[in-house]
Amino acid sequence: DGGITQSPKYLFRKEGQNVTLSCEQNLNHDAMYWYRQDPGQGLRLIYYSQIVNDFQKGDIAEGYSVSREKKESFPLTVTSAQKNPTAFYLCASSPIRELSNQPQHFGDGTRLSIL
C-alpha cells in the first residue's frame, strides 16, 4: 500500500537533547512538508521541500532543521533551541502538477514530549 510512514509514534526528549523524527513516503510525491499541531490550534507549517536537496522555512522554523537527501525521505530534527517542543508532529506529501489541484496526504504523526 502506498502511504506516508512516520516513526516513532511517541518520542520523549530530555532537556538539551536533539531528536530526529522520521518521515518516509512511497507515493512518488515531489513535495514533502512538516507541520506542528498544538491543542486547540490548527496545523502550522515548519518546513517544506519541493525537490531533493532543497527546502524552505515555513511559519515556525526556529529550533528545527530538515534534510532532503532522497525523494522518499524528509527527516525533521527538533533541536535544543526549540524551547517548547511538546506537540504532535505531522508529515505530509503531495505531487506538484501545474495543471491540477492535488491534496496533501498525511502520515499518522509523532507525539513528542519533554521528560
Partner 1 sequence: DQQVKQNSPSLSVQEGRISILNCDYTNSMFDYFLWYKKYPAEGPTFLISISSIKDKNEDGRFTVFLNKSAKHLSLHIVPSQPGDSAVYFCAARFKGAQKLVFGQGTRLTINP
Query: Given the rule CB under 8 A, which residues bind partner 1?
Result: 4, 6, 31, 33, 35, 40-45, 48, 50, 58, 90, 92, 94, 96, 101, 103-109, 111
CB of 90 to partner 1, least distance (A): 6
CB of 15 to partner 1, least distance (A): 25
CB of 73 to partner 1, least distance (A): 17
38 or 69, CB closer to partner 1? 38
17 or 86, CB closer to partner 1? 86
**Whole-number Å distance between alpha carbons of 90 and 104:** 11
- Classify burial at 88, counting beta carbons within 10 Å of its beta carbon; exposed 0-12, middle 13-18, buried 19 or more: middle
CB of 74 to partner 1, least distance (A): 14
The C-alpha cell at 98 is 501545474
**Helix ranges restricted to H, the chain:** none
The C-alpha cell at 115 is 521528560
The C-alpha cell at 15 is 532537556
